[in-house]
Amino acid sequence: MAHLIQKIALLTIPILAAVTVHELAHGYVAYRLGDPTAKESGRLTLNPFKHIDPLGALVFFLTQAIGWARPVPVDPRYFRHPRQDMVWVSLAGPMANLLLAATLALALRAWPFIYQPLSWLSPALASAVLKPLLLMAYLAVQINIGLAIFNLLPVPPLDGSKILYGLLPPELARRYAYLEPVGFVIILALVFTGVIDKIILPPIIWLSGLFLGNLVQI
């Protein structure tokens, strides 16, 4: 029980931050492209409770790599170029997660210069406060990378499907759209058969190594 409580405590802030940044990025780019829907629905906010989906958050806690939030409402009718602009809106979420992961990884690389002197001066402070912060930042890097890679899969309703839809020729895009009603079933099948792990784990591991370097083994 104590281990479970500790895990929840360490994962809660990284998961909330990843989900919030992801959805806010979608809504902000849509707003900049002319769609006020996200702003009018109160989704252009850093308040994580406006974005969190309980089931998606639970999946995050179980996997630390995949999950989902409440989708930000987007109305492509406001866009000048609906298909192309939806590509940018869809890319915004994963790119924001990768940017956050890179920023945290840079902070982690500088962390030893702060952590080691303070741990020498005050071992109790380092153990009680600084080490949990270090672990949360490390987990946040992995969670943000995992969320980005997972959402780039070209399976509806993930962001990758909207990106692919906007890049395909119109006739192929219309045929591809027929997958949307069964997209969630496809995702579940990929998860339960283990196929999704084989697809997303290699890029997650590679990017984690690229961002964190020798800190991967923390």
Kindly report, residue by residue over 36-71, the tens digit of the pLDDT.
999 999 999 999 989 988 887 777 777 766 777 888
Q: Is 154 helix (H, G, I), strand (E, B) or coil?
A: coil
Do 16 and 69 form a contact (C-beta atoms < 8 A)?
Answer: no
* Cα separation values, 92 from 27, 31, 144, 163, Å: 9, 12, 13, 11
What pLDDT, on a 0 to 100 scale, did the predictor assign at position 4?
A: 65
- Sequence-ordered alpha helix ranges (H) in 44-81: 54-63
In this prediction, residue 117 has a pLDDT band, given cuts at 50, 70 and 90, of: low
Express as a percent the part of the chain with pLDDT over 90.
54
Q: Answer whether residue 132 shows pLDDT above 60.
A: yes
The structure tokens 């929840």 sit at 8
Distance of alpha carbon 58 from alpha carbon 77, whole angstroms: 33
Q: Which residues are catalytic?
A: 23
More confident residue, 59 or 98: 98
* Mean of the per-residue pLDDT values of the chain: 86
* pTM of the complete model beyond 0.85: yes
pLDDT mean over 84-93: 97
Distance of alpha carbon 29 from alpha carbon 41, whole angstroms: 15
Of all helices (H) and strands (E), which one includes residue 87? helix 82-121
What pLDDT, on a 0 to 100 scale, did the predictor assign at position 217?
A: 47
Q: Where are the beta strands (DSSP E) in the chain?
A: none
CB atoms under 10 Å from CB of 4, counted, come to: 9
Closest Cα partner for 92 from 151, 10, 150?
151
List the single range of 4-13, 139-148, 204-213 with lowest mean pLDDT.
4-13
179-211 pLDDT, tens per residue? 888 988 998 888 888 888 899 999 999 999 899
